[in-house]
Structure 1
Amino acid sequence: MKIKALINFFLFISLLIQARAGYSICADSLTPIKFPMVVASPNSKLKLEIRLSPEGELSYSFAANSKILIENSIMGLSGIGKPSPASVSRRSIRSVWKPVWGKRAVVPEQFNEATLDIKTCTLIVRAYNNGVAFKYEFPKGKAINDLTQFNFKGDYTAWYYNGERPNIGPEKLTDCDNKRLPVMTIKADDNNYLAIHEADLSWGEPLVLQSKKRETLFTIASKPNNAWKVIMYGTKPGELVDSHLLELLNPPPLKDLDYSWVKPGVAVWDWRIAGAHVDGFKYNMSLPSWKRMVDFAAANNIRYLMLDADWYGPEFGKDSDPLKGGKVAQVHEIIRYGKTKNIGIWLYLNDVGGRQFPIDQTLKQYKDWGAAGIKYGFMSGSPAEKNERTRMITELCAKYHLLCDFHDGPVHPYGQMRTYPNAVTREYCQAQLDGATVLEPKTFVTSVFVNMLAGPLDMNNGLADLKQQGRTHSPNYSANTTLVAEAARTLITFSGVTVIPDIPENYQKHPEILQFIAAQKMPWLESKTISGEIGEYIVMARQASDKTWLVAAATNENARELDIPLSFLKKGKYQALVIQDGDDADYRTENESYKTSNINVKQSDIIHVKLAPGGGACIMLKQ
């Protein structure tokens, strides 16, 4: 007995050392399944309970802090037979994930898992401290329908993704009588928030939800896939924004792939500059303008220039050759010039060119030219086809060391930036300057709590001239923000490439705002949603790679005053640059009015800011 005790003691010490070093601690056991079966989060606050009816039907309920939020919801697939539970194995992981880039440098990875052998398929259930997830493992194409339900306990309020349009919501669950697209963000009450999405969608049709009027039951309208069904949870909506649950449900990168070349950052963009006149110079999408943009980027620690459509010919033209057409010689020159200034160049590629010419050859050639990434637009095909093609292009881009940004109704993000860190952003939103209709202030402060939960977004915020007069691609509406809110949105919107749309001279008119944007040096060391309410306002803090803290606030159409506590700072004295809307600022009238101040602050201080209607505030904190 003494020898056995000694062995157990040394095993315990070994596991403790591994845990301190950041390794996983796993405990596997294989036992017969006994129902009801509970999988609880490591902190025991979240519980997914699975039951089996006498008729052989699996169901689950979800509770947070002892409050049931989802009840009596069916699990399973049709077309593969009824489940016949045989055994369950369990394991627990206590580790950390250090992403190549993301919201923070170190992410705890802690969950409890149960794997159920139910004969017809394998059911895997995980519980994290900020949500639960489950998935079915089955042969591709065997299942007919996904029977999974989300039977909410009450008539909660929900918001949904809605393409390149304002989000749907706020909408009571019982008022929904149609299909809905995730992310589905839900307010159960003031202390309970949920989000429904999926993770690790390696094949199949992306998730579509549906419900009937006067019901709180949601089912799945899309065909079965192998993704995780995810229920994110937070006591505040900002906890959903700060979550890494989707990424953690994706596998790590293949061990033989090196992603040290992936560098997130800010990019200038040639699409909205075209047609602008300044000091006798007219901007357009060609080499002289590109060089001015590169020079500006280099002078302000901005990492990239993004070239948009038509550089290789009309983007929808079947004969437009993405390797030989149009301004390809100028593209070669700007890539070469960019390298002399340490500025990477992104290249646009339309799906027409991507399909008319061999995609592997095209992407390899872009790598050989020295391009930094691709912006892929207008992908065609069914949802399942678009999903698998998106993944294929992402994999090829990883192979050829290209970052990628998918636009124009892309497949929703699902945490793939863990497996493919080069998947830095998508236009999974109504973008500020890339859609046909105006982005309303309330849409922005809804999207950050809905669309942005899925992953990094390309929203094109950051105008420095809100009139946009004389632009070739000028929208037929004015920007519905203030100048300060435009800058604030560049920080609030999580993205691996923050694409700003204006010309250098307009940023140079506002040196403090340019200083705030240029200070967004990624990868972020830390991010924290300080406060916010869906559709109302948000306050976000991020720590840049040089340890500078940046804080941004944005509001809807209503003016508001906010107290921003600085408790996220370490002890010491800081110099704060505070940029806020002018006293007469209003997104409908005086939208370029702002004021700045410099103050000394410390961790225990609170900064009070006033936000104009549609306005914002920006704070930069340095020791």
Structure 2
Amino acid sequence: MKTKILIVFVLFTSFLLQAKGEYSVPNVSSGSAIFPVVITSPNSRLQLKFTRHPDGEITYSFTANSKRMITNSKVGLTGIGKPVPTSKSTRSIRSIWKPVWGKRATVPENYNELTLDLKTYKIIVRAYDDGVAFKYDFPKEEAVDDLTQFNFSGNYTAWYYNGENANIGPEQLSDCSDNRLPVMTIKVDDTNYMAIHEANLSWGEPLVLGSKKNVNLFTIASKPNNAWKVIMYGNKPGELVDSHIIELLNPLPSKDLDFSWVKPGVAVWDWRIAGAQVDGFKYDMSLPSWKRMVDFAFENNIRYLALDADWYGPEFGKDSDPLKGGKVSQVHEIIAYGKTKNVGIWLYLNDVGGRKFPIDLTLKQYGDWGTAGIKYGFMSGSPAEKNERTRMITELCAKNHLLCDFHDGPVHPYGQMRTFPNAVTREYCQAQLDGSTVLEPKTFVTSVFVNMLAGPLDMNNGLADLKQTGRIHSPAYSTNTTLAGEAARTLITFSGVTVIPDIPESYKKHPEILKFIASQNMPWLESKTLMGEIGEYIVMARQASDKTWLIGAATNENSRELDIPLTFLNTGTYKALIIQDGDTADYRTQNESYKTSHRAVNSTDTLHVKIAPGGGACILLKQ
């Protein structure tokens, strides 16, 4: 009788979940016959197989489309007792996630899940159509070492995150003899790509990968944490870019927090304008310049103005008070002025001021002032401490209705924009205009396939004057791009706040380029990486909130011609504005040549564009 009641309960629960758009039926087994165990993706193309060996060691292998890419790799922890298999359980989820903002308005959330109970800890595994992930459920900080390996089946090619520098790679796996930082993007062959990262790092040290020369084996060089270890997969590198697996492995927002106020968008910025002179006016980082920037933002449907360092005193000054110092009265005035124009104001906060003064009170005051968000710079501490502080600041910002952007060697993104949608971007890259080294064209078209897989990036693209003469904070080197390429990069770089660095007058000289940037109305309804190769080029399409489609194409140091199919368009005719490099454009000469054209197109058309070395193309499609 009890068995019948249990069966009826499970079937009834399944019916209710299916009615909600979810499907979850647990399947539990126990005993010594657990291994080998296999979990597959919903589309059956991906497979993760776990095997227990006679000595008690547990290994896994990863197969995609019948091709084994990771083989005989250890899993497990040391220091918390010998694992003894006691039971396994499975479930399946079929649902839809509707993010507050992101790459698209609706995201399928479909996965199969396996839980292996090893008595002293658990291994939880999920298989999605675009990757697999596993994590260890164990008492916090009790484990000594993480045994996880990535034993690749061949000597593949890889690229890695490298701080605020050019990415490492392309590098053969067997040539690596040092630690590497994720994201690690891997080309198996022309139709198989992977990436290694982590998701939902709620505590502990961020992932570091270790390797030795002449092997294809990577291990965990960081201390154990409770994050998901993620193997992303795609037939093309663009499929990795379009994936949501990192976000989906994070929990949904707390029901106690309201995120309806979170509005992604474009922001103008005061850091690079300082020193520019035009029509008898000299820009600096103070109220008169801020008002000109707000007026320009208002006129062009730009959502924010970001105020950078030194507004409350020298940013590293121990006595600089982030609530009372420097130009705080001017800040109050520009926030009030911005409200009259529906332009929000971001404020910079350095870690020195963030630590000397109570951070909870500081962020509450910023919220009370009506500040839109904070840009937090130069966080100190160990990797684990930085992770804990980043999470704490993000949560405080959420409570005070503040967006947040972390700069200067931040903890890598790991999908927390799902749990905290106010976490809109990070400088997890070599930013184009917020450092002291030149961003090479090949670095841009590498980082979008590596760094950007982790989450939104603040890269500061979008100059409208390539010379940048007279700027106080301008780099003493070439901007290494073209005007069309600059505009395209603003679209290609996924971010919840797209920070553009130039003065209004520079943009007004190029009305078509300004129109392209101003048309980037977020949140995006859809995003599609149309084509591209790591370190070579990328073509990205995004649909704005008003249903306008925008396409951005960017290349490395090589010129190229591209045929861009418009098959993603809905039926009907669109008016296309096409901006591409001029015949003499070249990143090496800072030549600002570009040309524009207009034509009617539909989903059966293909657009041919010519891109200069280091350049790009922009396409605006309206019905």
Please indicate the TM-score interval, normalised by the length of the shorter structure.
Answer: over 0.9
Aligned to 1:139: 139
- Partner AA of 2:285 in structure 1: M
Whole-Å separation in 1 of the counterparts to 2:243 and 2:310: 38
In the TM superposition, 1:111-260 aligns within 5 A as 111-260=111-260
Cα deviations by residue, 1:40-79 (Å, 9 ceiling, x for unpaired)? 0011100000000111111100000111000000000111
1:23 deviates by: 3.4
* TM-score under structure 1 length normalisation: 0.97
- Partner AA of 1:381 in structure 2: G
1:140 deviates by: 1.1
Whole-Å separation in 1 of the counterparts to 2:557 and 2:12: 57
Unpaired stretches in structure 2, ≥5 consecutive residues: none
Aligned to 2:326: 326
Aligned to 1:23: 22
Aligned to 1:278: 278
- Partner AA of 1:22 in structure 2: G
Aligned to 2:70: 70
Against the structure 1 CA distance between its residues 274 and 590, is the aligned structure 2 distance closer, same or farther, given a 3 Å change threshold? closer
Aligned-residue CA RMSD (Å): 1.6
Against the structure 1 CA distance between its residues 485 and 20, is the aligned structure 2 distance closer, same or farther, given a 3 Å change threshold? farther
Unpaired stretches in structure 1, ≥5 consecutive residues: none
In the TM superposition, 1:244-393 aligns within 5 A as 244-393=244-393
Q: Give the secondary structure class of the aligned counterpart of 1:596.
A: strand
Cα deviations by residue, 1:382-425 (Å, 9 ceiling, x for unpaired)? 00000000000000001111000000000000000000000000
Whole-Å separation in 2 of the counterparts to 1:89 and 1:592: 61
For the 8 Å contact 2:28–2:87, the answer to whether it is kept is no
- Partner AA of 1:245 in structure 2: I
Aligned to 1:39: 39
1:478 deviates by: 1.5
Whole-Å separation in 1 of the counterparts to 2:10 and 2:91: 17
Aligned to 1:591: 591
Q: Give the secondary structure class of the aligned counterpart of 1:179.
A: coil
- Partner AA of 1:149 in structure 2: Q
1:82 deviates by: 1.7
Aligned to 2:474: 474
Aligned to 1:493: 493
Whole-Å separation in 1 of the counterparts to 2:187 and 2:86: 37
1:590 deviates by: 4.9
- Partner AA of 1:121 in structure 2: Y
Aligned to 2:420: 420
Whole-Å separation in 1 of the counterparts to 2:388 and 2:591: 43
1:25 deviates by: 3.7
For the 8 Å contact 2:10–2:25, the answer to whether it is kept is no
Cα deviations by residue, 1:419-439 (Å, 9 ceiling, x for unpaired)? 000000000000000111100
1:39 deviates by: 0.7
1:19 deviates by: 4.0
- Partner AA of 2:423 in structure 1: A
Whole-Å separation in 1 of the counterparts to 2:479 and 2:364: 38
Aligned to 2:548: 548
Whole-Å separation in 2 of the counterparts to 1:199 and 1:11: 31
Whole-Å separation in 2 of the counterparts to 1:511 and 1:28: 60
Whole-Å separation in 2 of the counterparts to 1:313 and 1:139: 44
1:508 deviates by: 0.2
1:31 deviates by: 3.9
For the 8 Å contact 2:480–2:590, the answer to whether it is kept is no
1:18 deviates by: 5.2
For the 8 Å contact 2:484–2:581, the answer to whether it is kept is yes
Q: Give the secondary structure class of the aligned counterpart of 2:363.
A: helix
How many residues in Structure 1 have an aligned counterpart in Structure 2?
Answer: 619
Whole-Å separation in 1 of the counterparts to 2:265 and 2:391: 23
Whole-Å separation in 1 of the counterparts to 2:34 and 2:403: 47
Whole-Å separation in 2 of the counterparts to 1:200 and 1:467: 42
Whole-Å separation in 2 of the counterparts to 1:570 and 1:115: 42
Q: Give the secondary structure class of the aligned counterpart of 2:73.
A: strand
Q: Give the secondary structure class of the aligned counterpart of 1:294.
A: helix
Whole-Å separation in 2 of the counterparts to 1:237 and 1:20: 36
Whole-Å separation in 2 of the counterparts to 1:379 and 1:611: 39
Whole-Å separation in 2 of the counterparts to 1:392 and 1:293: 32
For the 8 Å contact 1:57–1:82, the answer to whether it is kept is no
Whole-Å separation in 1 of the counterparts to 2:293 and 2:581: 28
Against the structure 1 CA distance between its residues 56 and 12, is the aligned structure 2 distance closer, same or farther, given a 3 Å change threshold? closer
Whole-Å separation in 2 of the counterparts to 1:480 and 1:494: 20
Cα deviations by residue, 1:339-374 (Å, 9 ceiling, x for unpaired)? 000000000000000000000000000000000000
For the 8 Å contact 2:60–2:73, the answer to whether it is kept is yes
| Identity %, equivalent residues | 77
Cα deviations by residue, 1:92-125 (Å, 9 ceiling, x for unpaired)? 0000100000000000000000111101201100
1:22 deviates by: 3.0
For the 8 Å contact 2:466–2:590, the answer to whether it is kept is no
Against the structure 1 CA distance between its residues 182 and 288, is the aligned structure 2 distance closer, same or farther, given a 3 Å change threshold? same
Against the structure 1 CA distance between its residues 87 and 16, is the aligned structure 2 distance closer, same or farther, given a 3 Å change threshold? closer
- Partner AA of 2:278 in structure 1: V
- Partner AA of 1:500 in structure 2: I
Aligned to 2:84: 84
For the 8 Å contact 1:30–1:90, the answer to whether it is kept is no
Aligned to 2:464: 464
Whole-Å separation in 1 of the counterparts to 2:244 and 2:123: 22
Q: Does 1:572 align with 2:572?
A: yes
Cα deviations by residue, 1:172-228 (Å, 9 ceiling, x for unpaired)? 000000000000000000111000000000100000001111000000100000000
Aligned to 1:49: 49
Whole-Å separation in 1 of the counterparts to 2:119 and 2:19: 38
Cα deviations by residue, 1:311-331 (Å, 9 ceiling, x for unpaired)? 000000010000000000000
- Partner AA of 1:203 in structure 2: W
For the 8 Å contact 1:25–1:95, the answer to whether it is kept is no
Aligned to 1:524: 524
Q: Give the secondary structure class of the aligned counterpart of 1:380.
A: coil
Q: Give the secondary structure class of the aligned counterpart of 2:411.
A: coil
Q: Give the secondary structure class of the aligned counterpart of 1:472.
A: coil
1:461 deviates by: 0.1
Whole-Å separation in 1 of the counterparts to 2:162 and 2:486: 22
Aligned to 1:103: 103
Aligned to 1:616: 616
1:13 deviates by: 10
1:591 deviates by: 2.8
Aligned to 1:581: 581
* TM-score under structure 2 length normalisation: 0.97
For the 8 Å contact 2:14–2:25, the answer to whether it is kept is no
1:21 deviates by: 4.8
Aligned to 1:538: 538
Cα deviations by residue, 1:129-152 (Å, 9 ceiling, x for unpaired)? 000000001111111111100000
Whole-Å separation in 2 of the counterparts to 1:76 and 1:206: 17
- Partner AA of 2:137 in structure 1: E
Q: Give the secondary structure class of the aligned counterpart of 2:238.
A: helix
Whole-Å separation in 1 of the counterparts to 2:516 and 2:13: 47
- Partner AA of 1:389 in structure 2: R
Against the structure 1 CA distance between its residues 19 and 575, is the aligned structure 2 distance closer, same or farther, given a 3 Å change threshold? farther
Against the structure 1 CA distance between its residues 488 and 28, is the aligned structure 2 distance closer, same or farther, given a 3 Å change threshold? same
Whole-Å separation in 2 of the counterparts to 1:367 and 1:560: 48
Q: Which moved more, 1:528-537 or 1:137-146?
A: 137-146
